[in-house]
Amino acid sequence: MAQFDSEYPDKINRMERLTLVTKPSDGYELLDSGGEEKLERFGDVVLRRPDPQALWPKKLGESEWNKATGTYVREGGEGGKWVGKLPTEWKISFGGLQFLVKPTSFKHTGLFPEQESNWVWTAEQISKVGREVSVLNLFGYTGGATLAAAKAGAQVTHVDASKTAVAWARENAQASGLEEAPIRWITEDVLLFVRREIARGKKYDGIIMDPPAFGHGPKNEIWKIEENLIELIDLCGQLLSDQPLFFLVNGYAAGYSPLAFAYNLEQFEKKYGGALEYGDLGIEEQGSGRILPAGIFARWKK
């Protein structure tokens, strides 16, 4: 278990809380937001879907919103459906990579544009050292961080409990011309995998994780962020190499501050030196410049 001294929390509190912002691009654009909805363009396809963070008036009229190719409609509980003449899947270019967008019944598309800044940062940490780098990506989902790291030259282990997500990530790797990159694709419960890697004596130079608030492993293992996050980060500390480069934690769990992540990463700054930063992930709305909150992060680098 990580031990915290009385000085470091004050240091974090005096740091500026960063907001990493994704700008509009050819592949993706936030066209408008408001009324707990967002209007986005993925390539040539415009989607309208709920977003509880958009607690402000819309800029565009309803007639423009109604032009969306697909609209997500809730059907009770956590699920819903897409309405409109929407392709089952299509390919877009984003962040120097290629992604297959596939709208799901849980309103997701498989692409999280707010992560672009973290992908750039990860690639910078890998490229600056001029040596072979190994990276572990936990809760890897459709592989954005995995592909960014692989493109930068790292050997990557991608872990997710969902066979569907891992298959989707492999499709994105192929679309991005990285099908031959040194990526290990693992479908397994994250905690179980990490414990096994420790027993095998495996080491990584960089670790990325994007833990959900709640989840199931392939054998119905239960993940709860409030019960398992501290343990997971501490276990991952045992997987870091003698010359680690970075540790990145992303999150979307409502109600948590990025400080909750940052206080768990201070152990790496104390042990290895380097720098720690934390803050918010956001997406810039075209035209207005408004920033739609889209997640939180904390990251340490040597």
What is the number of structural domains in the chain? 2
pLDDT band, residue 222 (cuts 50/70/90) = confident
Shared domain check, 219 and 254:
yes
Shared domain check, 233 and 95:
no
Considering the domain boundaries, does residue 202 fall inside one? yes
Instruction: Give the global pTM.
Output: 0.94
User: In the predicted model, is pLDDT for residue 64 greater than 50?
Assistant: yes
Considering the domain boundaries, does residue 138 fall inside one? yes
Considering the domain boundaries, does residue 2 fall inside one? no
Among residues 68, 101, 134, the one where a domain terminates is 101
Considering the domain boundaries, does residue 283 fall inside one? yes
Task: Please answer whether residues 183 and 113 qualify as being in contact, where contact means their C-beta atoms are separated by less than 8 angstroms.
Answer: no
Among residues 44, 67, 101, the one where a domain terminates is 101
Among residues 70, 101, 132, the one where a domain terminates is 101
Q: What is the DSSP string of 277-293?
A: EEEEEEEEBTTT--EEE
pLDDT band, residue 9 (cuts 50/70/90) = low
Shared domain check, 158 and 191:
yes
Shared domain check, 267 and 134:
yes
Distance CA(275)–CA(302), nearest Å, equals 6
Q: Which comes out higher in pLDDT, residue 260 or 14? A: 260
Exposure of 191 by Cβ count < 10 A (0-12 exposed, 13-18 middle, 19+ buried)?
middle
Task: Return the SS3 of 92.
Answer: strand
- The range of the structural domain enclosing residue 296 comes to 8-21+112-301
* pLDDT for 293: 96
Residues counted in the chain:
302
Shared domain check, 117 and 88:
no
Shared domain check, 280 and 185:
yes
CATH number for the domain spanning 55: value is 2.60.40.1180
pLDDT per residue as tens digits for the range 169-219: 999 999 999 999 999 999 999 999 999 999 999 999 999 999 988 888 888
Shared domain check, 120 and 89:
no
User: In the predicted model, is pLDDT for residue 6 greater than 50?
Assistant: no
* pLDDT for 4: 44
Angle at CA of residue 83, ends 41 and 33, nearest 5°: 40
Considering the domain boundaries, does residue 252 fall inside one? yes
DSSP state of 96: T
pLDDT per residue as tens digits for the range 240-285: 999 999 999 999 866 789 999 999 999 999 999 999 999 999 999 9
Considering the domain boundaries, does residue 3 fall inside one? no
Shared domain check, 246 and 153:
yes
Shared domain check, 260 and 124:
yes
Shared domain check, 62 and 170:
no
Considering the domain boundaries, does residue 86 fall inside one? yes
- Mean pLDDT (the chain, rounded): 94
DSSP state of 131: S
E strand segments, the chain: 18-22, 28-34, 37-42, 45-50, 70-74, 80-83, 90-94, 97-101, 134-138, 155-160, 183-187, 206-209, 214-216, 222-224, 246-251, 275-284, 291-301
Shared domain check, 35 and 17:
no
- State the average pLDDT over residues 223-246: 95
Nearest to 48 by CA among 27, 65, 26: 65
Task: Please answer whether residues 34 and 59 qualify as being in contact, where contact means their C-beta atoms are separated by less than 8 angstroms.
Answer: yes
Shared domain check, 238 and 253:
yes
Considering the domain boundaries, does residue 106 fall inside one? no
CATH number for the domain spanning 124: value is 3.40.50.150
